[in-house]
Amino acid sequence: MAFSSGQIVRFHDIDRAGIVYYPRFFDYIHRTFEDFCDAEVGVPHHKIVDELKIGFPVVHIESEFHHPLQHGDRITVEMTCARLGRSSMTMRYRLFRPGATEPAAEAAITTACVDIADVRPIPIPDLLRAAFQRHLAP
Amino acid sequence: MAFSSGQIVRFHDIDRAGIVYYPRFFDYIHRTFEDFCDAEVGVPHHKIVDELKIGFPVVHIESEFHHPLQHGDRITVEMTCARLGRSSMTMRYRLFRPGATEPAAEAAITTACVDIADVRPIPIPDLLRAAFQRHLAP
Amino acid sequence: MAFSSGQIVRFHDIDRAGIVYYPRFFDYIHRTFEDFCDAEVGVPHHKIVDELKIGFPVVHIESEFHHPLQHGDRITVEMTCARLGRSSMTMRYRLFRPGATEPAAEAAITTACVDIADVRPIPIPDLLRAAFQRHLAP
Amino acid sequence: MAFSSGQIVRFHDIDRAGIVYYPRFFDYIHRTFEDFCDAEVGVPHHKIVDELKIGFPVVHIESEFHHPLQHGDRITVEMTCARLGRSSMTMRYRLFRPGATEPAAEAAITTACVDIADVRPIPIPDLLRAAFQRHLAP
């Protein structure tokens, strides 16, 4: 049910403390959403912006960090849809280190669905809604 | 009571949607914490790591985004201490656009206080505790 | 003759090797150019893009790195104009650690001056040209 | 003869001008070097740092930017070794957009090979030297 994206912790994701700088977790998360658009929506993320003129500004984040990530970790990011509203949604992301059964970090990211021209909320288009629905796990 | 840090939204903080990429808010927040160490603890952040051997890994984030930030915005980040435990603390950050009375974004960031050698929780040292205490706003 | 911008090496500029990740030098450089627009052109960089509709895409870089930068370093970036053409220019940047007489790094950055609508080269507008001229050091 | 790494231009690589922020090119380049260590040296980059205690600080860059990169571009980065010295080397990188025969950008990156404990130059170890040699293209 979850959508999965494999990613690699890179040299420049590491901070002065020798572990992944926590805002980089949101880069892994954003890449996962982009990969989801490609694989599950069938429309690359840049076309969703350019052609469908849709944006997903973040309105709320709740995130927990359990274990640090290290350079070279080949992580798996799992994404499910926790809530699917008319013009907003909450996606849940869980980041796993290689072989781990418990996530290193998890986040619930709530975004609006807006017309990028005027940043007004619009209903989530059917194409996207169907893809989110297939990964719904409230 | 709040500690304040003035910052500028830079060209490279902006994402493909034309507004600040939301993980960059955590850069503004981290810079504010560094400025706080300088100004209020009296020990620069890099010396807290190098000499006191203390780190503050993030364990929990809750964050709300109300208004996008734009290139060139001269923002003010206000920081207070929302909870001061024995070896963990929650700092509250509010980011204001120029002249705004309502924050553009806010975040509660909970960090552990650890010995960087073994990442074990340690009591927050008095020097830091006193500085946090002066900005306590539960 | 050189324009100067003071900057601080931040926690998240540091990479896994414990020194500034070299592409971050270009962030310091870009901030210096933005500070120059504010202080010397009298038009903030975001207005140069939004109102004058001008962009400065980079076409060539030559850069030397002499000494690593560390977390907490309060660096000075000095900028001069090494070459001022009709619709392109080369700016020279030198980054100094506190108290240093020799630069930690230096870069010559050549940019085109373009209309952002069609990315065609345009003559550097007089307002900008005059500011660059005042810092010319071939 | 060139080593190739496929990469995707991500949402957060794009700057306020709507194209890839030029320092991000060096992220693509660094990822390529990391992929090379995995595939051609047979030792992941993080083990080269942790176990072989070797670092490659950048000492010189020369780079040309021909065409901007856009969000969603699936680029190919080609790497060859342009010069292989005793304790330094110059790698050449060329970034291609999908289907392009001319690079969008190219860079020659010269790094020292150092002992990370004291940042003293050391001879490039045979394991790495052999891999670089196989991709030598002066």
Q: pLDDT (tens digit, 9 = 90+) per residue, D84-101?
A: 999 999 999 999 998 999
Which tens digits make up the pLDDT trace of A38-64? Answer: 999 999 999 999 999 999 999 999 999
D57 touches chain C (CB under 8 A): yes
Supply φ then ψ for residue C45, to 5 degrees: -55, -40
- The per-residue DSSP string of A19-67 comes to SB-TTHHHHHHHHHHHHHIIIIISS-HHHHHHTS-EE--EEEEEEEE-S
What does the pLDDT profile of chain B (138 residues) look like in tens digits?
899 999 999 999 999 888 999 999 999 999 999 999 999 999 999 999 999 999 999 999 999 999 999 999 999 999 999 999 999 999 999 999 989 999 999 999 999 999 998 889 999 999 999 999 999 999
| Res C97: pLDDT | 96
Give chain D's mean pLDDT. Answer: 96
Which tens digits make up the pLDDT trace of A117-136? Answer: 888 999 999 999 999 999 99
Do A27 and D47 make contact, defined as CB atoms within 8 angstroms?
Answer: no
Q: Which of C115, C128, C120, C123 is nearest to C49 (CA)?
A: C115
Whether the complex's predicted ipTM surpasses the cut of 0.90: yes
Task: Name the residue range of residue B68's domain.
Answer: 3-134
Q: Which residue of A has its CA nearest to B59?
A: A65
Which tens digits make up the pLDDT trace of D24-60? Answer: 999 999 999 999 999 999 999 999 999 999 999 999 9
Give me the number of domains chain A comprises: 1
D92 touches chain A (CB under 8 A): no
A15 touches chain C (CB under 8 A): yes
| Res A1: pLDDT | 87
A14: chain C residues, CB-CB within 8 Å: 15-16
Find all residues with CB under 8 Å of D25, minimum gap 6, and list them. Answer: D63, D65, D69, D95, D105, D107
Which one-letter DSSP state was computed for residue A116? Answer: T
D10 CA: distance to closest CA in chain B (Å): 9
Give the predicted TM-score (pTM) of the model: 0.97
B27 touches chain D (CB under 8 A): no
| Residue D123 burial class via C-beta count within 10 angstroms: exposed 0-12, middle 13-18, buried 19 and up | exposed
A69 touches chain C (CB under 8 A): no
Binned at pLDDT 50, 70 and 90, residue C1 comes out as confident
> H helices of chain D, where?
24-36, 45-50, 126-133
| Res B4: pLDDT | 98
A49: chain D residues, CB-CB within 8 Å: 71
C134 touches chain D (CB under 8 A): no
Q: What is the CATH number of the domain that holds B87?
A: 3.10.129.10
| Measured distance CA(A130)–CA(A40) in Å, rounded | 9
Q: How many helices (H) and strands (E) does chain B have?
A: 3, 8
Find all residues with CB under 8 Å of B108, minimum gap 6, and list them. Answer: B60, B61, B62, B63, B82, B90, B91, B92, B93
| Measured distance CA(B38)–CA(B51) in Å, rounded | 14
Number of CB atoms found within 10 A of residue D109's CB: 24
B72 CA: distance to closest CA in chain D (Å): 11
